[in-house]
Chains A and B, each alone.
Chain A
């Protein structure tokens, strides 16, 4: 039985990570074709990536979008979490549910809805519209992270601060924010990663300012640019993994 269990686990992880592993391997392979046997080791796809102006512009779009999205979504999530964990009001359960609900909505549906509105109102598409879309899908995650942080924090700290003469805003700055900081950082990293990797909404809403995933998709039409995409994908995988690991480490340190 023990061997079977071990074998199962090995197969599971092999199937799960093989494609990603292959992707990384082929990004260093000196051939435009993805096929064995491997040719020699090369960094030329990475060099090509760095020299591609379109790619760099897409990368910078993605960075801007992910940064603004993560800050906005985390702020909204923080305020929402404060409302539903610190105050009692009519319709609280509904509000909490409504904050989580966008999670259940297929992104394609959200994308079509947003696209229709932006077209209808003549707002037009830009980095800004992608940010709006990303804030919409990232806020539930930020809210979830912040709620779990606030649930573990006694409201007595804030009460004590107010009691000691600090009005609500000063109390927020001197007590609430520092105590919520591990959650804030973890939420920033998580929402940054989600926004950076997101494709569907960005595809619908980015128009002529593509994000990195949209750029990568557009390159797939040209077979000889496949290795370039592989190199790029490898970079994205590494950056995303690092962010997720840091966010999990912070969460673990907080729980201790």
Chain B
């Protein structure tokens, strides 16, 4: 047992022959905003349900605050869920919904009402107590669901894609608000999403999932800058994967022969590479720049789009898949003079490049 707040140990869940979650180990720190990120069907919602006790693992163990809750049903778990469908009780009004979980707490009616009011204020729905739930907008339903789960003071709040049904503008506002509420109440949030931007914006830590497994669990910056696999690199943000071959390995780095950028010295990270290995050099579009240096690559511009702060280029050259590069608009004035299929000389920043295995 570590001193982490929520701990999953070799958690596995199968439905018949289908493996929904496959041997997941995960540690979530107290008071953090933790995200499970992955495409639909990757097992993230199943994993969340198991943390909430709405589903039980086939094997493995789940601990919350030091207690083994693997077999504890949801009504005895200090974890509460905000459902993707919100599941606001249609036969109760807003205040009755929020106060639902307090009924059994033995609070006096006045105390109960006060707590409900406080919670409604927290989610900016003060004065909405007597409203019927069918008069609420999507964003308001969302807030009621949040208040209803938070009012019982859980140790963990589980959120199942709570923002996916909202339009983009509202979603962005709710993201900011959600983060503010999390800081205010100090409860550990576990957030499920398929939206990588949302996960990067909100989280202290992100676990990227695919096929029931956790591919990488790290801070948003590490996830973005130092992906551990091609799959993570491609799922989080835009990434160019340029093939290469290892020429030389030393204690300070790895020399890689690349088709159009010559031989480059790169950091190997925690992986080990051998001479002759085929590798992938992963470079974010924003880490390219126009360069006159001799090792820079000459490439054809096949498409470009102006974004104000930067220009988005699609570059091609023989033997390499098209590369996306975002070059700062200020340093690329002369690009404007290039009509159609011009040729530019680009280079990338070696410190930001990530060396990954060629095939996985």
CB proximity of B359 to chain A, nearest CB, Å: 40
A164 interface hit (Cβ, 8 Å): yes
Q: Which of A154, A163, A170, A175 contacts B54 (CB 8 A)?
A: A163
Q: Are B54 and A164 in contact (CB under 8 A)?
A: no
Q: Are B91 and A163 in contact (CB under 8 A)?
A: no
Q: Which of B69-91 contact A (CB under 8 A)?
A: 73-76, 79-81, 83, 85, 87, 89-91
With a CB–CB cut-off of 8 A, which chain B residues contact A154? 85, 87
Q: Which of A169-200 contact B (CB under 8 A)?
A: 170-171, 174-175, 178-179
Majority SS of interface residues in chain A? helix
A108 interface hit (Cβ, 8 Å): no
Knowing A157-B87, A175-B89 are in contact, say whether A162-B152 is a contact too (CB < 8 A).
Answer: no
A161 interface hit (Cβ, 8 Å): yes
Query: How far apart are the CA atoms of A161 and B90 in the complex, in Å?
Result: 13
Q: Are B83 and A167 in contact (CB under 8 A)?
A: no
With a CB–CB cut-off of 8 A, which chain A residues contact B74? 159, 162-163
Q: Which of B75, B148, B149 contacts A166 (CB 8 A)?
A: B75
CB proximity of A122 to chain B, nearest CB, Å: 46
Q: Are A162 and B54 in contact (CB under 8 A)?
A: yes
Q: Are A156 and B83 in contact (CB under 8 A)?
A: yes
What is the total of A-B residue contacts with beta carbons within 8 Å?
Answer: 61
Q: Which of A162, A164, A174, A179 contacts B90 (CB 8 A)?
A: A179
Residue of B nearest to A157 (CB): B87
Residue of B nearest to A179 (CB): B91
B52 interface hit (Cβ, 8 Å): yes
B63 interface hit (Cβ, 8 Å): no
B100 interface hit (Cβ, 8 Å): yes
B101 interface hit (Cβ, 8 Å): yes
Query: How far apart are the CA atoms of A162 and B79 in the complex, in Å?
Result: 11
Knowing A154-B87, A167-B75 are in contact, say whether A159-B54 is a contact too (CB < 8 A).
Answer: yes
Q: Are B83 and A164 in contact (CB under 8 A)?
A: no
Q: Are A166 and B89 in contact (CB under 8 A)?
A: no
- Size category of the A interface is 10 to 19
Q: Which of B73, B85, B101 contacts A164 (CB 8 A)?
A: B101
A37 interface hit (Cβ, 8 Å): no
CB proximity of B193 to chain A, nearest CB, Å: 18
Query: How far apart are the CA atoms of A161 and B83 in the complex, in Å?
Result: 11
A223 interface hit (Cβ, 8 Å): no
B104 interface hit (Cβ, 8 Å): yes
Q: Are B149 and A164 in contact (CB under 8 A)?
A: yes
Q: Are B89 and A157 in contact (CB under 8 A)?
A: yes
B-contact 0/1 string along A73-104, CB 8 Å cutoff? 00000000000000000000000000000000
CB proximity of A185 to chain B, nearest CB, Å: 14
Q: Are B91 and A160 in contact (CB under 8 A)?
A: no
With a CB–CB cut-off of 8 A, which chain B residues contact A175? 89
Knowing A160-B87, A179-B91 are in contact, say whether A165-B104 is a contact too (CB < 8 A).
Answer: yes
Q: Are B100 and A161 in contact (CB under 8 A)?
A: yes
Knowing A164-B152, A166-B104 are in contact, say whether A159-B87 is a contact too (CB < 8 A).
Answer: yes
Query: How far apart are the CA atoms of A160 and B148 in the complex, in Å?
Result: 10
A-contact 0/1 string along B5-18, CB 8 Å cutoff? 00000000000000
CB proximity of A173 to chain B, nearest CB, Å: 11
Query: How far apart are the CA atoms of A165 and B100 in the complex, in Å?
Result: 9
Residue of B nearest to A178 (CB): B91
With a CB–CB cut-off of 8 A, which chain A residues contact B85? 154, 156
Q: Which of B52, B87, B152 contacts A165 (CB 8 A)?
A: B152
Query: How far apart are the CA atoms of A178 and B90 in the complex, in Å?
Result: 10
With a CB–CB cut-off of 8 A, which chain A residues contact B52? 163
Q: Which of B84-119 contact A (CB under 8 A)?
A: 85, 87, 89-91, 100-101, 103-104
Q: Provide 14 A-B residue pairs closer than 8 Å at the C-beta atoms, listed in order of the A residue.
A: A156-B83, A159-B74, A159-B81, A160-B87, A160-B89, A162-B75, A164-B100, A164-B101, A164-B148, A165-B152, A166-B75, A167-B75, A170-B104, A171-B75
A interface with B by C-beta (< 8 Å): 154, 156-157, 159-167, 170-171, 174-175, 178-179
B interface with A by C-beta (< 8 Å): 52-54, 73-76, 79-81, 83, 85, 87, 89-91, 100-101, 103-104, 148-149, 152
Task: List 7 tightest A-B contacts by C-beta distance, closest first.
Answer: A164-B101, A156-B87, A160-B87, A178-B91, A163-B74, A162-B74, A163-B81
